[in-house]
Amino acid sequence: MTNTRIEFLYLSEPDMIEAGVTDMAACVDTMAEVLGLFARGDYRMAGPDNVSHGAQLFFPKEETFPGMPVDGPDRRFMAMPAYLGGDFQVAGCKWYGSNTSNKALGLPRSILMFTLNDKDTGAPLAYMSANLLSAYRTGAVPGVGARLLAREDSRVVGIVGPGPINKASFEAYMAVRPGITTLKIAGLLQQDIDGFMHWAESTYPQLTSITQVEGIEAAVRDSDIVSIAVPTPSGSEHYPTVKNEWVKPGAFICSPSHLALDARLTARARHVVDARPIYESWADEIPAPAYESIGLWGMSLVDRVRNGEFARERFEDIGEIIDGRAAGRSHADEIFIYGTGGMPVEDVAWATKVYRNALERGIGTQLTLWDTPALG
């Protein structure tokens, strides 16, 4: 007889930590693998062109029905499904709700869960806590860029925006450039700056200098690696701007959030993103110019190519560098601007690695979906 019993593994946040979700070096390796697969096309995401970020619920600005949520900062629910090939061969979906008001309750802004599924039957393989999963894959993608594009002798990192994204990104920079000795931090809230400094000091005793600096210019000047993650309103006049004269030769500048560059720096630098197709598809979904609605640097590059300001060859894809179809750093003084946006395939990949670790180590709780389906 056919065995119809379906079990799946439940992994709490402590389980995820025990199974290695915070192993940043391994996560960087995994993200490099993912970005190479993406560049080759061995994946599927949502939407007719298979590159949609996901599906989001939007709420009205004013109450229209009793009990229905109203719009607010980061007030949303979102599903992010994907399939990934290569050595992964699984499908999955990250689902989360987000509300800035959570912070007043002592909760994270977003609360995330991830479901991993068998690619053929659709049966669940695992259901897991995903806040750390998402944070580490987000930070690891900048780490892939730094490993391939930042100078190997990088010593100084400038952080603009001492929040969770830059915390994860800094972990990745330390994993791929262990010679880093100096950290400069610029931010708006003193408690965030103090928290970041204390965390860096206790986590990385090899750092010889950790200082607070005043503003983006001080964070950028003399830094080998610059990481900018500052939430701002839409509209390029609001985006944090980096000026050419601040940037040292050979610098690597990464932004997983809004970013603007002056014209001289834009002309001087090479421009690389995590996955070019996601920005091109995203720009098709919103009014032009896309960059004015979504201030990721990849959106600026889409607009520049489409209006004839840039040749498409200047809009580079990190996956093509990973695959050897495009060159990495060619000389010590080359400046790189690296934009990241995040993709569901990254969650699938890191979830798969952590799930396999959990199975090998006997971590988590096996739950039964059914012995025999009622609707067979």
pLDDT digits (tens, 9 = 90+) for 63-96: 999 999 999 888 999 999 999 999 999 999 999 9
What is the secondary structure of 246-275 as a DSSP string?
GPPTT-EEEESS--EE-HHHHHHSEEEES-
Task: Tell me the pLDDT band of 1, cut-offs 50, 70 and 90.
Answer: low
Give the 3-state DSSP-derived string for 292-346, with helices as H, strands as E and coil as C.
Answer: HCCCCHHHHHHHHHHCCCCCHHHEEEHHHHHCCCCCCCCCCCCCEEEECCCCHHH
- State pTM to two decimals: 0.94
Report, at the CATH architecture level, how domain 6-133+345-370 is classified.
2-Layer Sandwich (3.30)
**CATH code 3.40.50.720 region(s) in the chain:** 140-343
Distances, alpha carbon 134 to alpha carbons 21, 34, 71, 143, 202, in Å: 10, 14, 24, 14, 23
Q: Domain 140-343: which topology?
A: Rossmann fold (3.40.50)
Enumerate the β-bridge partners of residue 254: 227, 338
pLDDT digits (tens, 9 = 90+) for 300-329: 999 999 999 999 999 999 999 999 999 999
Residue 88 contacts residue 348 (beta carbons within 8 Å): yes
Alpha-carbon distance 147 to 208, whole Å? 22
Report percent pLDDT > 70 for the chain: 100
Task: Tell me the pLDDT band of 30, cut-offs 50, 70 and 90.
Answer: very high
pLDDT digits (tens, 9 = 90+) for 94-153: 999 999 899 899 999 899 999 999 999 999 999 999 999 999 999 999 999 999 999 999
Residue 248 contacts residue 292 (beta carbons within 8 Å): no
pLDDT digits (tens, 9 = 90+) for 228-275: 999 888 999 999 999 999 999 999 999 999 999 999 999 999 999 999
Residue 68 contacts residue 60 (beta carbons within 8 Å): yes
Average pLDDT, the chain: 96
Backbone φ, ψ for residue 295 (5° rounding)? -85, 20
Alpha-carbon distance 80 to 64, whole Å? 27
Enumerate the β-bridge partners of residue 112: 96
**CATH code 3.30.1780.10 region(s) in the chain:** 6-133+345-370
